[in-house]
Amino acid sequence: MDHASETEVADAGKHIRSLNQALNTVLFGQEELIDLVLTGILSRGHILLEGLPGLGKTELVKGLARSLHLDTKRIQFTPDLLPGDITGNPVLQEVEGRREFVFQPGPLFTNIVLADEINRASPKTQSALLEAMQERRVTVLGKTHDLPAPFFVLATQNPIELEGTYPLPEAQLDRFLFKLEVTRNDVETLERIVNHRELGTEPDIQPIMDADTLNGVLALVRRIFLPDVVANYIARLCDATHPGQSTAAANIKFGASPRAALSLAAAAKARAVINERTNASFEDVKLVAPAVLRHRIILEYNARVEGLTPNEVIATLLDEVPFQANATPRTLQATAPAGS
């Protein structure tokens, strides 16, 4: 496969900058979040947005769909939602003089699925998304139906401590490329929201890319060069999440899967395109690592009791694992005496 050229990357970068500017008019004061959402989309990944109600998670997804000019459907997850309500159901119809079941597609058959408050549905319903998120298809009554391309699931969820929520199964969490935390706004941003927004109104967003343009950019991301040393860093970073492989992993019960390594590689390539570079770097991997790993590592019970968070463990991990194999960990580099 030929690698992306500087001209191609520069052209893609112009579209991405316009998209970034448009989304920053939807959600004020969340530049880093928007940057990571775009990284996830360019990686062909699904994104889980977690935060308290009212922080703009749903508006961000709706704005993204409008700016990309893609078909989108919203599924409001509730405890009584059934798997067939998402995937679709066979319906008995008259066909050429005989009665037979005809599949009626559900709301999954779209480009962007807004899975709103996904952790309010039962695990059985949540599991209906597994095949769609991994293989971009749905199987009903033994027959497989392909989903449109591109296909993204952007899900929102409230913190698990809130009443009426269910924890997502680990198998489904692993299918999300990123888990992003939506934090509250500062006073300056709140003042800007009050001055420029009205309750019940949506910002006017014009299309920035169509499906063909987006598919071209997605294909370009796959052609970004991933140096062997960066691939090795990704492998060592994921391996270090497993017990016994690093000091930080002493607080981890279960580490990251191979899908996490593939996610890190895809996201690093997407970051390179956003920054108009033809190759992924160590810094790209380090920047996206928290979003890729925070929902893929399960902490030991004692660590959770002590209040340790996945973000803190990942920060320690990133300090402990050097960019180059057999190099001194960065934590030791920082504390090494002069002249050592």
User: CATH number of 1-223: 3.40.50.300, 3.40.50.170, 3.50.50.60, 3.40.50.1110?
Assistant: 3.40.50.300
Mean pLDDT of 281-310: 92
User: CATH number of 225-334: 3.40.50.720, 1.10.1740.10, 3.40.50.280, 1.10.8.80?
Assistant: 1.10.8.80
Q: Whose CA is closest to 125, among 88, 77, 176, 72?
A: 77
What tokens were used for 83?
């798997």
Query: Structural domain boundaries of the chain?
Result: 1-223, 225-334
pLDDT value at residue 163: 64
142-169 pLDDT, tens digit per residue, is 888 899 989 999 998 887 666 667 778 8
**Residue that the structure tokens 């597609």 belong to:** 105
Whole-angstrom CA distances from 96 to 59, 92, 93, 99, 257 are 45, 13, 10, 8, 49
247-259 pLDDT, tens digit per residue, is 888 899 999 989 9
**Does the structure show a pLDDT above 60 at 83?**
yes
41-73 pLDDT, tens digit per residue, is 999 999 999 888 777 888 888 889 889 988 889
pLDDT value at residue 201: 67
Fold: same for 1-223 and 225-334: no
pTM recorded for the entire structure? 0.87
pLDDT value at residue 319: 93
pLDDT value at residue 35: 94
Question: Crossing angle for the helix pair 282-293 and 31-42, nearest 10 degrees?
Answer: 100
Give 1 or 86, the one with higher predicted confidence: 86
| CA pair distance 257, 261, nearest whole angstrom | 7
Of 131-145, 170-184, 278-292, the range with the highest mean pLDDT is 278-292
Mean pLDDT across the chain? 87
